[in-house]
Amino acid sequence: MTNSSEQASPEAIQRLKEEAAESAAALIEDGMIVGLGSGSTAKLVVAAIGRRVKSGLNIVGIPTSEKTAAQARELNIPLATLAQHPQIHLALDGADEVELSTLNLIKGGGGNLLREKLVAIASQRFVAVVDERKLVDKLGATFSLPVEVVPFGWQSTEQRLKKLGANSQLRMGANGEPYITDGGHYILDCAFGPIASPATLAANLDTTVGVVEHGLFIGMTSAVVVGRPDGIKLLNPPVPA
Ligand code: A5P
């Protein structure tokens, strides 16, 4: 798949995101428990869901961030918690990178990866919604991997991440203080360059003390809705050999 949006205007990109969001929201059926993602594309998905709810769609949304919860409330989308609905029918969320050959993802650019992953893993179907600029041959090629860490002794956790090859940076908030996630943690944005084996890196991060969660979503994607100038494309994961 060639990427024709690299030089596209912000308005053109916004249109692709809106079309992808509309088409993703159309996957929702009446009565579903729906995971509501976070980020600028997910915001458009939630807006499209709000329009469907206004016209009579009956769903319960599980938000992945306080920001998404606030937007959903404004749109009168009924909400519940993951504790109330540990099984979700469908989750719709954005992504920072989508590896074309596997549909593995990097997520967490907006800082919500922990709740996003908890919702994605609890979902029967997890559908990523992106414009075509997010499609990459290798994860890590264009985006630093967000890694959520415990604030206590984060510098010591960072040393362990450096041993895994990370060129890391503590994410800062607009107030000049470290950015704090909804879960009360810090984020280290870790540049790895193109990641040869995302599954191996994910397994190493899973066992790194001090790491709460990371933005590699491996084997979790059921489909990707891609907004392209020539229309929407639905990508399905490869069939296991
Ligand atoms: C939020 O933490 C992220 O995982 C977003 O889903 C991801 O960063 C994509 O965001 P945009 O849709 O804003 O690019």
CA distance 229 to 146: 29
Q: Is 11 a catalytic residue?
A: no
Q: Look up the pTM and report it.
A: 0.95
- Nearest partner of 213 among 66, 95, 115, 109, judged by Cα: 115
Any ligand 1 atom below 6 A from CB of 38: yes
Any ligand 1 atom below 6 A from CB of 107: yes
> Which residue puts its alpha carbon closest to atom 10 of ligand 1?
39
Q: List pLDDT tens digits, range 139-172.
A: 999 999 999 999 999 999 999 999 999 999 999 9
CA distance 221 to 224: 7
Cα 49 to Cα 79, 123, 142, 175, 182: the distances in Å are 12, 17, 30, 33, 23
Any ligand 1 atom below 6 A from CB of 39: yes
Handedness of CA 10, 188, 61, 87 (dihedral sign): positive
Residue 40 Cα: closest atom of ligand 1: 13
pLDDT value of residue 1? 45
- Nearest partner of 19 among 229, 167, 176, judged by Cα: 229
pLDDT value of residue 239? 83
CA distance 178 to 150: 12
Q: List pLDDT tens digits, range 57-75.
A: 999 999 999 999 999 999 9
Residue 94 Cα: closest atom of ligand 1: 6
Residue in 97, 99, 116, 148 annotated catalytic: 116
CA distance 211 to 77: 33
User: Which residues lie closer than 8 Å to 175 by C-beta, 6 or more apart?
Assistant: none
pLDDT value of residue 5? 63
108 CA distance to ligand 1 middle (Å): 6
Instruction: Quote the strand ranges of 10-56, DSSP E.
Output: 33-36
Cα 13 to Cα 81, 94, 174: the distances in Å are 32, 14, 25
- Residue-by-residue DSSP string for 132-163: GGGEESSTTSSSPEEEEE-STTHHHHHHHHHH
Phi, psi of 233, deg, nearest 5: -120, 135
Query: Which amino acid is it at 228?
Result: R
| pLDDT < 50 regions, the chain | 1-2
Q: Is 17 helix (H, G, I), strand (E, B) or coil?
A: helix
